[in-house]
Structure 1
Amino acid sequence: MESNIFYTSNRNIIKNIWLIPIVLFTVACGWVIARKGIAIGAVLLVLPFVIGFVALVFFRPRVGMYAYLIYCFLMPTIGKHIPGVQFGLAVDGLLFLTLFAVLFFRGDKFKFRHINVDLFWMAVVWFIITILQLGNPERPSILGWVYEMRSATLYWILTIPLALLLFYKKSDINLFLTIIIVLSFLGAVYGVKQKKYGPDAAENRWLEEGPKKTHVLFGKLRVFSYYSDAGQFGASQAQLAIMCIILAVGPYTQKRKIAYLVAGLMIMYGMIISGTRGALFGLVGGGFTFLVLSKQIKILLLGIIVGGAFLGVLKYTTIGNDNAEVRRLRTSLDPKDASLQVRFINQKILADYIRTKPFGAGVGTMGMWGTTYNKDKYISQIPPDSLFVKIWGMYGIVGFLIWFGIMMYIMGKSAGIIWKTRDPVLKNQLVSLCSGAAGILLCSYGNEVLNAMPSSAIVYISWALIWLSPRWDTPEPKVIEIKEEESIY
């Protein structure tokens, strides 16, 4: 009797009916690819993996947060190699996907009272202030506000509560540190490759579109690795370098200390070849924070002496001037540097412009989104050159003081939590997180760093882990009072 894949030998009963939709779907995919091109084929190829990832996040929301962290490192280079696609929106997508998974699918698994902390409510305050900026008298573009708002407050108010809810295990701090150190180390390695062999075709195309004027100076490439630009690369490398060095002096095995030290030195070299002068202050700020948090006067004095000697060599000698990166780094300590003077001039112009605008010119009026969506605003033509200056210009002196006050409160509260930590390993990890965040905050005075990836994701999660740390600390020994029995005699 005759048979085939669809019918049994009696020709009456369908046996493999599930093959019919698969065949139809395959034919449809072939037709779409033939009509729309190979790009659609790539999308269809990736689609099943995307669906699988979404399902995984809904079952394990922590996966979404770690994917967000990793993606923040890789997003810029993906955008350079596949132009024309807004890959930055995937950051929003990952955060909202994780949020939906927590709220609507796994809400019964998490204790939402854990987000009722000052760290979260400060993010809420800044979010509300940003929303109120929609009513700014200068009437800036709504689109400019939307795009700027994402980096100014949206990622902040989404990352903090998600980290507080999802990173409830002590092992999460170890995994977090491992991920950012490995990705930063690989970033330094890729940067060395970029310096030795030059950028690839996609990166050269990106340079020719405009960034070449700031990334190729006197014929020397300012290495940017797979980060958004050399400024972000250098600052992030400075942050992770000081973190690794702090971990290298922690209470770990000799093998682990060596691994941290090697990673720190390699990442520091990545910072140097970036040609980012402001990154030096990431090391200085992070190192000084470490010395203060150590609460040991001898170490503090020794650190100040060593750090002062290092800065003195840079400022008052010509040692290392044969190296282009060292020469550029040395200019960061020159108050007469031409670039620094231009920044001072821009800040004076901005100060005159917003003198009568205590609430600033509005969110999205400065920087890239200002020149894109607010060309009619005078302030959009003033380069901010600094996150501090940008917030001052957009939010005014009132907004700037609130933002700066929040930053100082977070750093002070972090120090208080760390000083009370008893577990030596945990304390060392927290010191590295706090010092790295302090370094990035100081770097933001010279560049827009804290509002860019991956630095913002690292800092926000670092804050959340510091706030979570008391639950992982060694319990405080209980003091039992023994009452002396009254004498019966």
Structure 2
Amino acid sequence: MRSFLLYFLIFYCFTFIILGREIGGFPFGVVIEGVIFITMIAAIFKTDKEEWKALNNSFFYLLLLWLLVSILEVLNPGSNTLAWVAEIRTTAFYPFMILALGFLIFKTNRSLDVFLILVIALSTLASLNGIKQLFIGLTPGEQEFVTANASTHLLWGRLRVFSFYTGAGQFGASQAHIALIALVLALGPMKKWKKVLLFVCAALNFYGMLISGTRGALFALIPGVFLAIFLSKNFKVVIIGGFIATCCLMVLKFTHLGDGNYQIYRLRTALNPEDPSLNVRFVTQQKLKEYMSSRPFGGGLGVIGYNGTLYNEDKYLSTVQPDSYFVKLWAMYGVVGLTIWICIMMFFLGKCCGIVWRIEDPGLKTKMIALTSGFAGVLICSYGNEVINNMPTSIVIYLSWVFIMISPKLEKMEKSTLLS
């Protein structure tokens, strides 16, 4: 029952935006809290006393610290309580609760394989829906969304595909994330037909990234690929893989090959330091630097972004487009909170790399490399866009942490045949 509820939560986090667009009239996002609450109740009654020791780890305690920091932000006079409640959900509550549920519920290699299959299948389904949007057309709800967001989703008459995600930015970054995971898995030890299927899923997700028009998604792939190559500890793979990845970047950066394709042309602009969009972000950050210099603890949760517009329209920060999740945290928590968050993320990344480095089982190591490199890519990509804090990317990252942390135990357990 507990596992089913957590798998259902993953499924819902990938698809709930559809309900909001096509049905409307209800805040479908709050169902996530409802499912989390029900799953936690089930976990409390079904978890043995000994199993609660799974929470005794650094990831749990650091996210508890971040939750406490976020709770204390309610005292920040720069924001109101409604905005704080709305923002703390995705900023601190979701990561803490989903991580805790993952440690209490996921304990086997089979649960790892089911998790990987589920997220890759759902992301590939999103790719197919995105292809449908581009070549067949939009549903009434999707058309209404594009009409309301024409300035960001219709560029020079071309649709930026968003599938059933919050927008093209989240769709593109998520597609890059899952494409990387599927590609790394496909290179691992498993039956040929499974490798072929994973390569197809990786290709579809990569194409989904391209048609989203999200240039920042490229930075979920680049660091992720290089980290995956490094963690493989295979000298031949490091040399050949690094050479191929570098050549691909060189082609994008220094040639005009493929410029006839709009998606490739737009992706290429991500490597242009003179890109107007990039410079606008630098100007925004420069303006914020002066404003934030006297606010070391920030302007309060929900003072910027969507919740800022909704609840704090009288505040200066609500008029600033954060774009970057790092900038959003800086505005809300100040330099103190941003430093705490970055330190936590760097510790998580370092810890994950250290764990993966020591795994000996080839199949399990490949899966952990996929999850770790995916996390690294999303973290760096979040500098340019709000990614790591939005569903479904966030739940994939939080549960990735769980599986990486328990992988030394999984290495000693019975193997699963689902992805082998």
Which TM-score bucket, shorter chain as reference? over 0.9
Runs of 4+ in 1 over 6 A off after TM superposition: none
Whether contact under 8 Å (2:107, 2:410) holds in the other structure is: no
How far the C-alpha of 1:422 sits from its partner, in A, is: 1.5
The match for 1:78 among 19, 41, 44 is: 19
Counterpart CA distance in 2 for 1:173 and 1:127 is 26
How far the C-alpha of 1:107 sits from its partner, in A, is: 3.8
Whether contact under 8 Å (1:110, 1:165) holds in the other structure is: no
1:168 and 2:107 are equivalent in the alignment: yes
After TM superposition, the structure 1 = structure 2 runs for residues 241-252 of structure 1, keeping only pairs within 5 Å, are: 241-252=179-190
Which residue does the alignment assign to 2:97? 158
* 447-456 or 294-303, which deviates more: 294-303
Matched residue type, 1:106: K
After TM superposition, the structure 1 = structure 2 runs for residues 261-276 of structure 1, keeping only pairs within 5 Å, are: 261-276=199-214
How far the C-alpha of 1:328 sits from its partner, in A, is: 0.8
Whether contact under 8 Å (1:423, 1:474) holds in the other structure is: no
The match for 1:424 among 362, 365, 373 is: 362
How far the C-alpha of 1:474 sits from its partner, in A, is: 4.0
Which residue does the alignment assign to 2:417? none
Which residue does the alignment assign to 2:33? 92
What's the C-alpha RMSD, in Å, of the aligned pairs?
1.2
How far the C-alpha of 1:288 sits from its partner, in A, is: 1.2
Which residue does the alignment assign to 2:408? 470
Which residue does the alignment assign to 1:238? 176
> Which runs of 5 or more structure 1 residues have no equivalent in the other structure?
1-59, 476-489
Whether contact under 8 Å (2:83, 2:308) holds in the other structure is: yes
User: Residue by residue, what CA displacement relative to the aligned partner does 1:140-174 show, whole Å, maximum 9, x if unpaired?
Assistant: 11111111100101100100110001001210100
How far the C-alpha of 1:229 sits from its partner, in A, is: 0.8
Which residue does the alignment assign to 2:336? 398
Counterpart CA distance in 2 for 1:110 and 1:263 is 39
How far the C-alpha of 1:258 sits from its partner, in A, is: 1.1
Which residue does the alignment assign to 2:55? 115
Counterpart CA distance in 1 for 2:194 and 2:140 is 38
Counterpart CA distance in 2 for 1:197 and 1:259 is 25
Whether contact under 8 Å (1:77, 1:228) holds in the other structure is: no
1:342 and 2:280 are equivalent in the alignment: yes
Which residue does the alignment assign to 1:130? 70
* 296-305 or 170-179, which deviates more: 296-305
Whether contact under 8 Å (1:281, 1:442) holds in the other structure is: yes
Matched residue type, 1:222: R
Q: Which TM-score applies when normalising by structure 1?
A: 0.83
How far the C-alpha of 1:109 sits from its partner, in A, is: 7.2
Counterpart CA distance in 1 for 2:25 and 2:223 is 38
- The share of aligned pairs that are identical, in percent, is 42
User: Residue by residue, what CA displacement relative to the aligned partner does 1:301-331 show, whole Å, maximum 9, x if unpaired?
Assistant: 3333222211111111111111111111011
After TM superposition, the structure 1 = structure 2 runs for residues 210-359 of structure 1, keeping only pairs within 5 Å, are: 211-359=149-297
> Which runs of 5 or more structure 2 residues have no equivalent in the other structure?
414-420
Which residue does the alignment assign to 1:207? 146
Matched residue of 2:215: which SS? coil
Counterpart CA distance in 1 for 2:311 and 2:368 is 41
How far the C-alpha of 1:100 sits from its partner, in A, is: 1.4
Counterpart CA distance in 2 for 1:422 and 1:440 is 26
Matched residue of 2:256: which SS? coil
* 298-307 or 315-324, which deviates more: 298-307
Counterpart CA distance in 2 for 1:301 and 1:426 is 23
Which one has a bigger Cα radius of gyration?
Answer: 1
Matched residue type, 1:389: V
Q: Which structure would you say has the larger RCO, counting Cα contacts within 8 Å and 6 or more residues apart?
A: 2
Q: 1:267 to 1:140 in 2, by over 3 A?
A: same
Counterpart CA distance in 1 for 2:18 and 2:404 is 30
